[in-house]
Amino acid sequence: MKVLVGLSGGVDSAVAAYLLKEQGYEVSCCYMRNWDSALNNDTLGNPTLLDPVCPQEKDFQDAQRTADQLGLPLYRVDYIREYWDDVFRNFVEEYQKGRTPNPDILCNKYIKFSAFLHYAEAHGFPMIATGHYLKREGDRFFKADDRNKDQSYFLAQVAAQGLKSCLFPLGTYEKPKVRKIAEELGLDIAEKKDSTGVCFIGERDFRKFLQNYIPMKPGKIVDINSGAVLGEHEGVYYYTLGQRKGFHVGGEDGPYYCVGKDVEKNILYLASYKDDTFLYSDSALISSLNWIRRPQEGELQVKFRYRQPDQQVTLQYLENGDVLLRYPQGCKAVTPGQQAVFYKDDELLGGGVIEHTYTKGIEQQQLLQEKASRHV
């Protein structure tokens, strides 16, 4: 069978391509260019990277060398417009609402398992493959054997048909074994570090990058409990729930963490590390659901963040198609705009966007506003 492998320029996709070739597939590779390196400039149009070569361009060069070393053809396709329209616009709009989006999940949904899949089908490839750590058993999908590298969380918004059209050769491999294979093959990228952070930013300061699209708007930093003004922030959009650094404030109750923000009033609310009650919720409303395998109402497991241990929850379907999750044990820093990813034991069931969180039936944002209003 012909298969088109998404070759990123990293170790994982390179070894995935090699393993499929060894298994007898007719393998070709494709590099996806999703970001225009000309956009890696500051507000004056000056390059912000010390190295004039964008990390994405370096990745393409690495992908080309890898394909040559493996004796495989490499295509290159641009999804700059699709990425801008379907991923980046959403990324900026969510930040402007005071929420915290995950562009990597949207990139998988709209680019790697949609636009790329359509490209493969149009060019005679019935299957695609990636270097994601996800285990496939028939038409069901499970956490990878290497739990430290498992990427099921980032694939929860991919349509079921997109996953069913993809091979995941690394699902049963541990990362050290993958690197060892690359070393034994003599691949130039065998020791290349894994990419981290948001793909289109590269090695740069996230807040400075965001300022190009959401201008700074300084405002007050307020202690939610005392009402004291602790300092000034650069813009409420740049902070996330539970964040513990980057405030540069004093106060006898410090250090502090972020408990919320009022976008309209441009106020950032902090609380002392001694009091984390504002970080806990016991239920959440989830929208924009994508089911890979739709579960019945009842108990299952959820991740509200990538590195978070599974949380036991009870799922209830609502008439409008959203779901309500209850977790009476309480969960910390469940953040609107991020993803809730559903599992039954180790099987990936799907995911959705966290819309609101509640404590004893009251929305947390309302609790925050009520607390803040006492100091006015």
Q: Residue 144 class from Cβ within 10 Å (0-12 exposed, 13-18 middle, 19+ buried)?
A: buried
pLDDT tops 80 at residue 36: no
Of the ranges 170-174, 211-215, 362-366, which one carries the lowest mean pLDDT score? Answer: 211-215
The closest alpha carbon to 236, from 256, 257, 253, 214, belongs to 214
- Concerning whether 258 is annotated as a catalytic residue, the answer is no
Residues 49-63: pLDDT tens digits?
A: 434 455 667 889 999
How confident is the model over 241-264, as pLDDT tens digits?
A: 888 888 888 766 778 999 989 998
pLDDT grade for 202, boundaries at 50, 70 and 90: low
Indicate which residue of 107, 166, 258, 331 is catalytic: 107
What is the domain partition of the chain in residue ranges?
A: 2-185, 216-275, 277-368
- Which residues make beta-bridge pairs with 27? 3
Q: Which CATH architecture has domain 277-368?
A: Beta Barrel (2.40)
The one catalytic residue in 54, 166, 199, 331 is 199
State the CATH architecture for 216-275. Answer: Roll (2.30)
Residues 205, 349: Cα–Cα separation, whole Å: 35
Which residues partner with 136 through β-bridges? Answer: 141
Residues 337-351 have pLDDT tens digits of 999 999 999 999 999
Query: The pTM is what?
Result: 0.90
Res 49: pLDDT: 42
What is the CATH T-level fold of the domain 2-185, as seen in this structure? Rossmann fold (3.40.50)
3-state secondary structure of 230: strand
Whether residue 199 lies in the annotated active site: yes
Confidence of residue 114 (pLDDT cuts 50, 70, 90): very high
